[in-house]
Amino acid sequence: MTAWLSQFFLHPSFVLPGAALVALPVIIHLINRMRFRRVRFAAMEFLLLSQQRNRRKLLLEQLLLLFLRMLAVVLLVALIARPFFDPSQLLILAGQKTHHVVLLDDSGSMDETFGGTSAFRSALETVRKLGRQGVSQAGTQNLTLLLLSQPDQPLFTQASLDPQLIGELEIKLENLKCSHRGLNLVTGLQVAGQQLKNPAASKHLHVIADFRNRDWGLDSAVASSLKELEGKGIDINLVRSTPSAHDNLAIIELAPIGNVAAANIELRLRTKIKNLGDRAIDNIRLSVMQDGQKLPRTEMFDRLEPNAEVEREFGVVFDKAGQHEVHVVLPEDSLEADNIRYLTVNLSPSNPVLIISGNFESGKSDRKAADLRDALAPEPGRTPFTPEINNVGYLRREALDKFGSIYLVDVPEMPEDALRAVEKYVATGGGLVWLVGPKVRPGFYNEKIYKSGTGIFPVPLGAVTDLISDPENPVQDIQFENHPIFRKFLGQNNSHVQDVRVSKYFGVARDWQPPPTVQVIGRFRDKAPAFLEQNYGKGKVIACLTSAGVDWTSWPRSASYVPLQLELQQYITRPEGSRQTEYLVGQPIDIVLDPTQYKDQLEIRPPDATAIVRLTAARSKTDEDLPGAAANSQFHETFRNTDDPGIYTIRRFKTDNSEDPEILAFNVPATESELALAETAEMKQRLGNGSRIKIHEYGDFSWIQSRQAGQEIREMLLYLILAVLLFEQLLAMRLSYHLNTGQPRPQAEKLRRGRNPAIQGLATAASKSVSSERSEKSVTGGRA
């Protein structure tokens, strides 16, 4: 009985004892009637006829008064038992249950720690309390539990809340942890809405999250989704899992400067740190780890203001080619995952660069190409590049994919098949540099290479133009835009190129405007384009409209020539291989194996290294996305369990029993480091003034033990009790006897004035009878 009553009362144990108290007014009434003895005498017979006419009215008034007193007891018991009746609860009688959908945020910011706990652990405790409260109403409550990281895979789906389910729920919650991902709350709300489409006595959505400010902008899709669900009659609770935002310092970037690295040559890295808290932080120490070993150096930052970020460059040196990892570490704070950032570096034994010279002939030297080769590699081991000089015919004979970049130096024209090979090379991610010269034929370039803006040359060439010197105007001959390859020559560093002189260059039509894929990154003194960058497919094209030799410019003899070529190579060279090596947590790892070289077995070691995952790749149904591959010729496998940041190691096994390892770096998204909370007032404003969506602050669990409908009933009960007691008092006063000692009753007075002594005696008896009748009414109808 108590379990059944728990569907309607928060304190069902008070209901049955309270029901017994309803009989108390009846018992008091019966006891009072036993206090009087009935005495009949002749004079009363005269008045009985009059009493018969008023008896029914008097009885109804007495019963009404008794009912009001019983109703007052019922209402007082109900107020103590706290009913939460909702009209939808009547559907329980038709076999339907209340459906609770819990959407649990497990994004990276939920790992924020405070006071010995975390936002995620706080959210788990809220789920436990919901489950325990549901068990107290066993048989009437269903639970669906969704994780925001995988809402389409519910942990429970409309499971009936009972003690057995609570045991299963506890086991699953104990093993849950944050995904560290940046997640979309809107996607989770859409799935939750689908779950709540099934019929139910009442529908409740509980969103347990940290509700960061970044999700509640002016055009908040979260607020729109919540209002849409509210419009479908769903009761929505937004439950905070953290009390406030805490100080947080995050590493938001770790990246190499350039695309090329080599053994025993310093690799420059860039890292960025941001203060996402509300107060300045002093004396920040950044440690650098290389291949698991802490380097004997620490980067120091004196002070970082709120919402400010700082960039720092540093160098590392690897003693051998191959794959290496670097990570940087900050001291612990409220969010641990963003205090470390990982990077993998793949050092090739060599980084070949192809130089195609229009002046190259076998056995004869070409000064322009030789100057370029010496700038890229003055001696073995000094730079990561190994340049190779050849002629245009080489483009037709050899595969180009092994080169990180290609220079075309003063090439007059190219055979069609050579041009197609270069176009394919750039489209697949290769880097191409055009250095024009006196041998270049503008007509061929414009028709065959520029192709009205669709080719791999960024601009239509005009006539050769003289750059006339102006002794009165000391402006340098080449002006640089803010671009990575010129970063060493901007600002105060312009002195490196002040001595460069340009005498001739290829002009461009004045009405030419660069399309979106082309950018002018340098100009001559007369504002004509000097350097241009073009995006072509996955690759980049850089064109210089003056010569690489001293016939048109003095640049090859300038001290700025070598650093410019090195910076250019770092920018334009295709990274080793085309495979992505840095991921965000949650991204899947797609693995493709060639059956002619690899077995279908592979191993993946996650960052914690507690277990090795062994996988068997399956043959793909189609390989349409793999150019040149025959259908059903590849092994495919996808590894999705990448929620933890760190280094993932993949081991492939070749058919000759050798191994092919690869390491990948996974980092947390920078957006999850933004811990600023959305203010409750702002959230309510986004939801609208008329919204019934309830926002519950951190640590407030009263909403779990009560419901809004119940609170409305309690208020109604209070007003109803006051009304019943007031009406009972008025009715009791009307039915009770009030003795007036100053004036005799009108009926008795009139009889006393009669002339017949018999009548006077009867009047006297009548007066006494009326007094006796009123006295009895005062006992039966007055206050007990």
Question: What's the confidence (pLDDT) of residue 630?
Answer: 45
Pairing state of beta strands 98-104 and 141-147? parallel
Question: What's the confidence (pLDDT) of residue 1?
Answer: 59
Question: What's the confidence (pLDDT) of residue 724?
Answer: 84
User: How many C-alpha atoms does 690 have within 13 Å on its Cβ side?
Assistant: 3
Residues 674, 676, 678: CA angle, nearest 5 degrees: 125
CA dihedral 568→572→577→581, nearest 10 degrees, is 90
Give the model's confidence band at 406: pLDDT under 50 very low, under 70 low, under 90 confident, else very high: very high
Question: What's the confidence (pLDDT) of residue 713?
Answer: 66
Largest CA distance in the chain: 166
Alpha-carbon distance 297 to 286, whole Å? 9
Which positions ≥6 away from 123 have C-beta within 8 Å? 104, 105, 110, 208, 209, 239, 241
Give bridge partners of residue 616 from the DSSP assignment: 601
User: How many C-alpha atoms does 233 have within 13 Å on its Cβ side?
Assistant: 10
Q: What is the pLDDT of residues 488-547, one digit of tens each?
A: 787 655 556 788 899 999 999 888 999 999 999 999 988 999 999 999 999 999 999 999
pLDDT at 210 over 90: yes
Q: Which amino acid is residue 220, in one-letter code?
A: S
Question: What's the confidence (pLDDT) of residue 11?
Answer: 65
pLDDT at 208 over 60: yes
Query: Which has more pLDDT, 74 or 129?
Result: 129
Nearest to 172 by CA among 197, 154, 152, 199: 154
Q: Record the pTM.
A: 0.72
pLDDT at 174 over 60: yes
Q: What is the pLDDT of residues 279-291, one digit of tens each?
A: 999 999 999 999 9
pLDDT at 259 over 90: no
- Report residue 292 CA to chain centroid gap: 31
C-beta of residue 676 within 8 angstroms of C-beta of residue 213 = yes
Tokens coding 325? 């990892």
DSSP state of 138: T
Alpha-carbon distance 253 to 409, whole Å? 37
Which positions ≥6 away from 382 have C-beta within 8 Å? 265
- Report residue 691 CA to chain centroid gap: 24
% of the chain beyond a pLDDT of 70: 81
